[in-house]
Amino acid sequence: MSIFKIEINANLVRRILFEGDQLLERIIFDGQEKAAFWDENNWSIDNPKIKETNFINLGNSGALVFDQKVYNSDLYAILERAGEILPIKIKTQTYYALNILNVVNCLDKTLTQWEYYDNGSPFRINKYHFKTKKMSASLLFKIPERNKTEIFCYSLPENPEKQFYAMYQKLKFTGLNFEEIYSE
């Protein structure tokens, strides 16, 4: 099994901004449902001159935002299993935010290597170690220790063509970076 940390290629992709009320409630995706109070309007593209990519930036929000091409692809089934798909309307285009609800308590805290603040509280993970037997059927997930910002996916050796990382590559989508952070 390989586990990848997924990040938006922030310097090369467009960024979406929310312009309505309750900004933090709209752009912090921490594993809690949002559909009941979601506002699909009041969004804009901050940097429209940057080349379009399939996945776009919503800051350090903990969400994956994608375009209609991804929505209409085979990758959508994997995205849908991971959480809520919330529409974002900007002029005549619709984008979609994946709010990942699959938060898995699978970080092995004893073997994971942390960087600490001066007061002793954990700051950053330098080397991840996972309890892979706790992984769920959803290929995309978050961990409680980083549920507001970090998104992960895993790949198994069998049927790689049905897994998020391989399908993203095969369909030649753009906008994401994958860093392999764990392998067993």
Q: What is the DSSP string of 84-126?
A: EEEEEEETTEEEEEEEE--B---B-TTTSEEEE-TTS-EEEEE
What is the band of 13 on the pLDDT scale with cuts at 50, 70, 90?
Answer: confident
What is the band of 172 on the pLDDT scale with cuts at 50, 70, 90?
Answer: very high
List CB contacts of 138: < 8 A, sequence separation 6 or more: 78, 81, 82, 102
The answer on pLDDT for 22 being more than 70 is no
Q: Which percentage of the chain shows pLDDT scores above 90?
A: 54
Segment 62-82 mean pLDDT:
95
Query: What is the pLDDT, as a whole number, of residue 80?
Result: 94
State phi, psi for 126 to the nearest 5 degrees: -90, -35
Query: pTM score, two decimals?
Result: 0.90
Q: Which of 57-66, 91-100, 111-120, 169-178 has the lowest mean pLDDT?
A: 57-66
The mean predicted confidence, pLDDT, of the chain is: 88
What is the rounded CA–CA span in Å between residue 171 and residue 99? 22
Written as six digits, the tokens of 75 are 């990758």
What is the rounded CA–CA span in Å between residue 123 and residue 94? 36
The answer on pLDDT for 10 being more than 80 is no
The residue among 164 and 17 whose pLDDT is bigger is 164
Report domain extents, the chain: 10-72+85-100
Q: What element of type H or E holds 80?
A: helix 75-82
Contact 128, 145 (CB under 8 A): no
Token look-up 């900004």 returns 23
* Cα–Cα distance list, 37 to 34, 44, 57, 87 (Å): 6, 19, 21, 12
